[in-house]
Chains A and B, each alone.
Chain A
C-alpha cells in the first residue's frame, strides 16, 4: 500500500523528521517496507503559457512559443522573451497553460527506469531548435493515454510556477507492508492511517465530520429501488444512491485528486470511477457505480431490484475486464432482479458498466463477508485495491457516510434518492478496562488520565469510573472487543518499546531425554564419519511403490504443492535411499548418512485425543560403491552405538512388519534388533530390485531404530561392573573349523561360556572368517585374551584352557 506523506499531512500535523516518523510507524503500527523519495522527481518542470502554436505543414508538429515567466536563465529566447519548443500533441493551442519539462530535467515517468530520460535541446526537422518538452499527463506519471499534453488550470497555474508547488509533488511515498494490517480495515484509508499517526505522535485526531454524516442533504425524489439481502452474513449492509445527470464533468485540467490517485499506485479511468477510487483511498471504503439504465435492462424491470445473494454453482458472469467467470456458491453476487450484475467486492459486470453514454447511475456502498471474498479473490485471481480492502472487513458504519460524500463530490451528478439496508444503527461497543489489570499485563503503569488521552486521541469515548474505565469504541474499529484489545492499544500507541524488559525469576527445568539422546547419538555417529541429513516428511507415491510400502498406509495430503510431496512418509530410510545416488554422482563412493525424524503410518492409529500417533526414528544408510555387502558395516555401527548407550540387545532373524512398511529389507540378509523382548529396530541390506530402482550398489544396507525405545533403555552406566587383574593376560589366536552354515554367534558364545565358567577376566574378538572355494566348512578365527583375577595362570592351566577352547562344542 502506497501512502503519500503530503496527503497524510492534510489530516495530521507531523512534527518529527521523516526518518523518525518511519521508525515510529514501524514500531507502533506497521512495518514501512520502503520509503520512496519523490522530493526531486519534478525538479525543473514548470507551468508555462503557450503563447503561440503554429502547425508545421505536412507534419503533426506545431512550433510553439512558450512563456516560462523567465524562470530558466541559461536558455536562448526569441525577441519577445519566449522559448521555442516543438510539440506533437493535437490539443496544443495558444493561450493554454501546460507543463514544460525544461532542458536538463528528467521525464518523471522514467525516473525509475534503468536509464531515465533526460530532456535537452533537440534539432527537429533539421532546422527547428526545440528546448525541453511540453509534457503529457502520462509523461508526468499521472496516467492517461498519451493523446495530448496535460492542461493546467489557469486559475492556479501561473507561468514559471514549479509544477511541484502547484500539486504538492515534492513528496515522500511510504510503502506499507499491509499483510500485517489484516485486522485493521480502518488503516486502509489515508484518514484512518492519519488517525493512527496522530495517536502515535500523541496528538488528538479530528476525524472529518463527513465520516459521521448519516443524513442526506437532498430529499428522496420519486424514485423506487428495492434492496434485498438474502443472507446478512454475506452482506451486513448495502447502501445505494441513485444519481441523475447534472451538467458536465470538468476533467479538462490535471487535478490534485488525480495526482493522489497516481501517487497511491492507481491510474485514472473516468471521472466517476476516479471519484470512487479517490474516496476509497481516503476512507478505505470501496464503492461501485452501475449504469442505472443498463441495470434496469438486464433485470427487465421497471425499477431497480437489487438482490445480494450467494452465487449459484456454475452461474456465469462476464466481468469488466471481459473475462467470463464461472461462479460457485462461495461467491457473492449483486443481481438485478436475480440476474448477476457484479461479483460483489471483486469486480463489476460488463452488462452494467458505465460508459460515455451513461446518464443515470446507481452507486453501491456496501460491505461483504471478508471470508467469502478471500476465497473469491483466490478462486478468480482478483487482487484489486478494492478487494484488498474488502477482505479486511470494512466496517458497516461507513457505507452511508461514504455514499453521501460521493453525492457531494460528484459535481456533474445529482443525488435523487438514497436507500439503505440498515434501518437502525447498532449500539456502539463499550469495553470496560481495569488499570490494575493493565499494569499486570503490560508491566508498565498508566494513570487514568494518560489512558483517557491515548484513547481519545484516536477517537474513543472514554469515561473514568475509579479504577474502571469505560471505552466506547468508534465504529471503524472492528477489531476491538475485549479489555485486552484496549490494553494492546495503550501499549502500542504509547510504544511497547517504552516498556522496560525485566527478566522474571522462576524455577529450574527438566531436561528433554530425547534431545539429550539425539545429541549423544549425533556426536557418536559423526565422530565415526557419518553424515547427518534432513529430508522432507512428504514423499511421492512413486517412492512408496519403489520401496514396496503401501500407499494406503500413508496419510495423503489433499492440497500438496506437487505430486512429489503427496504422502507423509512411513519411514526415513526410503528418503535416504532416494538421496544417495545424487551423492555418489557427486563423487562420494563411501558414506554413511543418518537422520532423526518423526514418521507416521495409519497403522500406528490415533492417540487419546484422536490425533495420529507418530514415531521418532533414527535411520542410517551405508553406501559403498566398492563393496557388495554392507550388512556388516551397518551391524558394526549398530553394535557400537547400542553398546555406547549401554543397551543390551540381540540380533535375531528378520521379521516382516504386518503393515509391510519394512518390505525393502532383503529378508535373507537382514535382522531384527531386540532389547529383551522388545523389538527396537531393523538392520539389513536392501533388496536388489529396489536398489536397482535407485541406481545404488548391490549390498547397500541400513538400520533403523525406534528412538523412544532407546530413550527408555539407554543408560549412562554399564550393567556389568568392570573387572581388572594385576596378573598377566594370556593372548592367543584360535581357529575353529565349523560347518558352512554354522552361525557365528553360537561359537563365540560357547567360547565365552568356557572362560566365564572358570571365572576368568577375558575378551573374545573376531579375527577372520575364511572359507575356501568349494569347501562346505569354514574357519572362524578369534583372538582370546584372559587372566585370573587372583593369580598368574600356570602354563598347564593355560594349556588346559586352550585345549578346552579348541574342542568346544556348540
Chain B
C-alpha cells in the first residue's frame, strides 16, 4: 500500500503534468500578455518542483526501517568487527602537540588549552594593544557579527592564565603554564600559509625571573625536543605585550639535516609588559615574567619534510596514513 507521502508525491507530479500542459495554451494568449502568463507558469512550476523534491526527501526517511538500537548487530547481519590496526592513523599535528605538551610538563609547566572563540578584551585590550593598533583591523583578525574573535594567537589566553594562577604567586610559587591551541589568521592560503593553525604559548611569572631565564627555558625545550645540544640566537622583535620582544632561533638540528650556521626562527618571545601584568592584577614592581608563542605546524613540516601546509586540514586519508607515526 502506498504511504501518505508517496500519495502526496503522485498528487504533486500529476499537478506538474497538468501545469506542463498549460504551456500549450500560450499560443492562444494575446501577445502582450504572454510574458506575464509565462512568468506565472514558471513560478508555479518552480514551486511545485521544490515541493516534489521535499516530499521525495521525506519519502526517503518514511521508508526507513527502524532498527533495534540495543542490538549488537543487524538482523541476519554479521557481528561488527574493528578495522585492523594497520588502517589506523593519528594526526601528525596532534601527536606532535602531545609531544610538545609532555616536554613542557616534564619541565614543570601546567597545561591549559586555548579558546577557539574569544573577545576583544582578551585578544587585544588585556595585552596592551593600543586602541588603534593595526592588528585590530579586519585585515588580520576574523570577527563575528557580535564582535567576537576566533583568536589570531594563543596569547589571547594570557590574561586568563595570569588571573587563574595568581594564587600560586600568593603561595610563593611561580606561574609556569603552556597553552596549546588552534588559532586563526585572516590571510590567503598558499603552500606556506594557512588561515587555521596550531600554536603553543608559554607564560612564566615569578619574583626573580630574567630574560636569561627565558632563553634558558626555551633552549632547554628545544634541546629536549630535538634530543641534542643546540646553539641559539635571537633577533629583536616587536609585540605590544612584551618588552623587550625577541624572535628566538635555533641552529638547525642534525635531525633536520642542517648546514651548521643555518638558523631557524622558532617563536616570538619577550618579557611580559608591565601593563599586561597590571591588567591581570599582578604588581609589576614585585613580579616579572616572560611569555612566548610558536607554531606547531611548522615544527611538523620541518620534521616530516612537508612542503604544503594545507594538507593538515585536508582530511585526506592518503596524507593521514602516510604521515601517521
Binding site for B on A (CB under 8 A): 26-31, 180-184, 370-371, 374-375, 378, 391, 439-444, 482, 484-485, 487-488, 491-492, 496-497, 499-504, 506-512, 514-515, 518-519, 522-523, 525-538, 555-561, 565, 568, 575-576, 579, 582-583, 586, 588, 590-593, 596-598, 600, 609-612, 614, 616, 629, 631-633, 635-637, 640, 651, 653-654, 666, 668-671, 683-684, 687-689, 692, 743-746, 748, 766-771, 778
Q: Does B75 contact A (CB under 8 A)?
A: yes
User: Is B94's CB under 8 angstroms from A522's CB?
Assistant: yes
Sample 10 A-B pairs with CB under 8 A, ordered by A number. Answer: A30-B236, A499-B215, A529-B87, A555-B146, A559-B138, A561-B188, A586-B316, A609-B122, A611-B117, A687-B60
User: Is A532's CB under 8 angstroms from B94's CB?
Assistant: yes
User: Is A557's CB under 8 angstroms from B212's CB?
Assistant: no
Q: Does B85 contact A (CB under 8 A)?
A: yes
Complex: chain A residue closest to B220, CB-CB: A503
Expressed in whole angstroms, the minimum distance between the Cβ of B119 and any Cβ of chain A is 5
**Complex contacts, B312 vs chain A, CB 8 Å:** 534
**Complex contacts, B58 vs chain A, CB 8 Å:** 689
Complex: chain A residue closest to B175, CB-CB: A506
User: Is B148's CB under 8 angstroms from A555's CB?
Assistant: yes
Given contacts A579-B315, A592-B83, A770-B75, contact A611 B67 (CB under 8 A): no
Interface size on B, residues (CB 8 A): 116
Q: Which of B73, B83, B84, B89 contacts A769 (CB 8 A)?
A: B73
Q: Does B166 contact A (CB under 8 A)?
A: no
User: Is A530's CB under 8 angstroms from B64's CB?
Assistant: no
A443, A616, A687: most-surrounded residue (chain B CB, <10 A): A443
Please tell me which stretch of B5-13, B18-26, B28-36, B105-113 contacts chain A, meaning at least 4 of its Cβ atoms lie within 8 angstroms of it: B105-113
Q: How far is the CA of A533 from the CA of B138 in the complex (A)?
A: 29
**Complex contacts, A527 vs chain B, CB 8 Å:** 85, 88
Please encode chain B, from 286 to 325, with 1 for each CB lying within 8 Å of some chain A CB and 0 for all others. 0010000000000000000000000011111110110010
User: Is A180's CB under 8 angstroms from B105's CB?
Assistant: no
11 further A-B contacts with Cβ under 8 Å, apart from A499-B212, A579-B315, are A509-B176, A526-B89, A558-B143, A558-B145, A583-B315, A596-B94, A611-B118, A689-B58, A744-B68, A766-B73, A769-B73
Q: Does B258 contact A (CB under 8 A)?
A: no
User: Is A688's CB under 8 angstroms from B60's CB?
Assistant: yes
Q: Which of A492, A512, A611 contacts B110 (CB 8 A)?
A: A512
Q: Which of A514, A519, A766 contacts B113 (CB 8 A)?
A: A514
Complex: chain B residue closest to A580, CB-CB: B315
Q: How far is the CA of A199 from the CA of B290 in the complex (A)?
A: 26
Given contacts A497-B233, A590-B83, A669-B64, contact A534 B117 (CB under 8 A): no
User: Is B212's CB under 8 angstroms from A668's CB?
Assistant: no
Q: Does B153 contact A (CB under 8 A)?
A: no
Q: How far is the CA of A582 from the CA of B311 in the complex (A)?
A: 14
**Complex contacts, A558 vs chain B, CB 8 Å:** 138, 143-145
Complex: chain B residue closest to A639, CB-CB: B72
User: Is B186's CB under 8 angstroms from A525's CB?
Assistant: no
User: Is A515's CB under 8 angstroms from B113's CB?
Assistant: yes
User: Is B61's CB under 8 angstroms from A180's CB?
Assistant: no
User: Is B75's CB under 8 angstroms from A769's CB?
Assistant: yes
Q: Does B162 contact A (CB under 8 A)?
A: no
User: Is A565's CB under 8 angstroms from B195's CB?
Assistant: yes
User: Is A504's CB under 8 angstroms from B320's CB?
Assistant: no
Q: Which of A184, A485, A555, A767 contacts B145 (CB 8 A)?
A: A555
Given contacts A532-B320, A598-B182, A688-B64, contact A614 B117 (CB under 8 A): yes
Given contacts A496-B244, A568-B117, contact A534 B176 (CB under 8 A): no
